[in-house]
Amino acid sequence: MADWGDTTFMKQSTLATAGFGLVTKRTRKRVFLDEMNLVVPWTELVNLIQPFASSGTTARGGRPSFPVETMLRIHFLQQWFGLSDPAMEEALHDISLYCEFARLDPGAMRLPDETTILRFRHLLEKHNLSIQLLATINATLATKGLMLKTGTVVDATLIAAPSSTKNSSGERDPEMHQTKKGNQWHFGMKAHIGVDAESGLVHTVIGTAANVNDVTQGHGLLHGEESVVFADAGYQGAAKRPEATDVEWQVAMRPGKRRALDKNSPWGSLLDKAEQLKASVRAKVEHPFRVLKCQFGFTKVRYRGLAKNTAQLMTLFALSNLWMARGTLLQRAKA
């Protein structure tokens, strides 16, 4: 019996290794990548990056470089699954699904290493291509009627940065700062976004240190075609700032003032209902933050300096737009 069991185990191992495994379950990760593969406008994005990429050989004039689309797919895998450059290199060797998505042969003699992955990210940073990636994806969504541009919702969220000084420089990132929210202190940066009031898709991203007041960035989050802006109480006074335009600001009442309303009186009840309506519109700005932090697992900055982290935020919000709109895009593709 022991010999028969050993032989069976060896046969099963050999068949699985040879690619005859019978497991057909579509995992959530595979479903996610299949959907994103269909909704990302690869051709437009590759055409955007191609003029800036080296052609034919690497910088050293040696082995042929990997296609731009392959490197872009790897870059997006990093954003979706929170992988560093070394971790991404190892994942390509360990996870065949990632190679499949990146259009690579898992058995190839050569796969992109962490240096190649790093160089591609530096290419995007050097030419400010992240903001163009966001613009290109949004233009694609706009052609499909998913961004109406009649109203904007603005908000900001804190992104933590390492506060430890146990690093090569012996100091915290000088471009990050601390701020107090409620009774807690936070160290890091802020991601300020402007989203379409109808769809909740992000059209503008600004990165600042955590101690920058939200209202100072409010007008920078507008695309210029909206007629109304919705914001929370942190944007009180936005309409009176020097850079203000004739756009209408619907800013939430301060919490203490709202609690003091007499909701039994006609006027107090009317004001409270107006605040509820404004809050229902403002709620859409929370969806992109949820996708970044819960779906993509982005809760802490990966790099030093605001420029690199802001570039990553733009890419993440561009991908979050595709994630939130994927249902509509896939339905229209089938029609």
Give domain status of residue 272, yes or no: yes
Q: Give the pLDDT confidence of 9-30 residue by residue, as tens digits.
A: 334 444 444 444 555 678 999 9
Residue 28: CA atoms inside 13 Å, Cβ hemisphere, count? 2
- Average confidence (pLDDT) over 275-284: 92
Q: Give the pLDDT confidence of 297-314 residue by residue, as tens digits.
A: 999 999 999 999 999 999
Q: Give the pLDDT confidence of 107-157 residue by residue, as tens digits.
A: 778 899 999 999 999 999 999 999 999 999 999 999 988 888 889 999 999
Residues 90 and 188 both lie in one domain: no
Q: Give the pairing of strands 184-196 and 202-209.
A: antiparallel
Instruction: Residue 117: give the domain boundaries.
Output: 25-126
Q: Give the pLDDT confidence of 221-251 residue by residue, as tens digits.
A: 999 999 999 999 999 999 999 998 899 999 9
Q: Give the pLDDT confidence of 68-89 residue by residue, as tens digits.
A: 999 999 999 999 999 999 999 9
Identify the band that residue 5 occupies on the pLDDT scale cut at 50, 70 and 90.
very low
Residues 225 and 92 both lie in one domain: no
Residues 121 and 189 both lie in one domain: no
Cβ-count burial 171-198 (b if 16+ within 10 Å, e if not): ebbebbbebeeeeeebbbbbbbbbbbbe
Give domain status of residue 136, yes or no: no
Residues 179 and 263 both lie in one domain: yes
Give domain status of residue 2, yes or no: no
Average pLDDT, the chain: 88
Q: Are 301 and 161 in contact (CB under 8 A)?
A: yes
Residues 163 and 286 both lie in one domain: yes
**C-alpha dist (Å) from residue 76 to 6, 121, 298:** 43, 11, 13
Residue 313 structure tokens:
């935020």
Residues 89 and 173 both lie in one domain: no
Residues 46 and 168 both lie in one domain: no
Residues 44 and 99 both lie in one domain: yes
How high is the pLDDT of residue 132?
96
How high is the pLDDT of residue 309?
96
How high is the pLDDT of residue 24?
62
Cβ-count burial 115-146 (b if 16+ within 10 Å, e if not): ebbbbbbebbbeeebbbbbbebbbebbeeeeb
Give domain status of residue 318, yes or no: yes
* Domain final position from 95, 126, 157: 126
Q: What angle do CA 332, 68, 139 make, to 5 degrees?
A: 35
| Domains held by the chain: number | 2
Q: Which helix (H) or strand (E) holds 206?
A: strand 202-209
Give domain status of residue 20, yes or no: no
Give domain status of residue 153, yes or no: yes
Q: What share of the chain is helix, strand, coil (3-state, %, to 5)?
A: 50, 15, 35
